[in-house]
Amino acid sequence: MNHTIMNRQHKTLSVQVEGPENAPVIIFSNSLGTDKGMWDPQAEYFKQHYRVIRYDTRGHGKSDVMHGTTLQQLGEDVLDMMDALNISRAHFCGISMGGLTGLWLGIYYPERFSSITVANTAAKIGTQDAWLARADAVQSTGLESLVKTTHSRWFSANFDYQRNLLAQQVIQSLANTPAHGYANACRALALADLREKISSITVPTLIIAGSLDPVTTVTDAEFIHQQIKDSQLFLIEASHLSNIEQPEIFTREIKRFVESIH
């Protein structure tokens, strides 16, 4: 079922809810330039036994473009969504930008989460200058040039993305992302730096890293693993969108981790 939820800024978030109403809840958060459709393989599996919540991050998909985005606001959108759906506690899984959102939630709202899975992410993604330059470029010229080269960042040479329907849909979702929404997210990432704070996370944490990921590297994942006590690190032979490149392995590992929490 699709929902339109109002956040604390009185803007709308597009949310999809599937699975048994009284089952444990798992929330999936998309990466920069994608939408909730990127989680199709995981939703198809988990909705059998979990209440699966997927949403379009602000400025992406069918969610509103919102002026002035910060990492805190990305996290607060999740909390607003949970409150609107009467969800007191959930498992959380985010990839890339969604993973960074998960780390923020683990730092500031641990009581709301049974576990967090952070995939293909870092406590600090990229550099401030690079993100601001990308934001300005997208704002002025659009996303066309990024769309043409995105497959080289999102997928490895081992993966035949051209023959994978979901991969093609996800690349199209980048083409459909509002330039202003994408640029706002870039500016949020430019200022987001949790390297000094993640050691405070006590929520059970799984870190998934793509061994072929040029964007958020294994070294980035190992840093998170070293900082968060009792966290688990799992490597997948994939590039940046590991849940699409290796959906069975990705889903199986989340299943193993989440079931170990119960």
Q: How many CA atoms lie within 13 A of 197 on its CB side?
A: 14
Supply the range of the domain harboring residue 233. Answer: 2-261
pLDDT score for 68? 80
Q: How far apart are CA 104 and CA 95, in angstroms?
A: 13
The number of domains in the chain is 1
Q: State how far the alpha carbon of 56 is from the alpha carbons of 27, 34, 71, 128, in Å.
A: 11, 8, 15, 24
pLDDT digits (tens, 9 = 90+) for 167-190: 999 999 999 999 999 999 999 999
Tell me: pLDDT of 262 over 70: no
pLDDT confidence band for 226 (50 / 70 / 90): very high
pLDDT digits (tens, 9 = 90+) for 114-164: 999 999 999 999 999 999 999 999 999 999 999 999 999 999 999 999 999
Residues of the chain with pLDDT > 70, as a percent, come to 100
Tell me: pLDDT of 194 over 90: yes
Quick one: 1 exposed, middle or buried, by C-beta within 10 A (0-12, 13-18, 19+)?
exposed
CATH of the domain at 160: 3.40.50.1820
pTM above 0.95, yes or no: yes
pLDDT score for 1? 86
What is the mean pLDDT of the segment spanning 221-250? 98
Tokens of 143: 């996303």
pLDDT score for 103? 98
Mean model confidence pLDDT for the chain: 97
Tokens of 200: 């405070």
pLDDT score for 67? 84
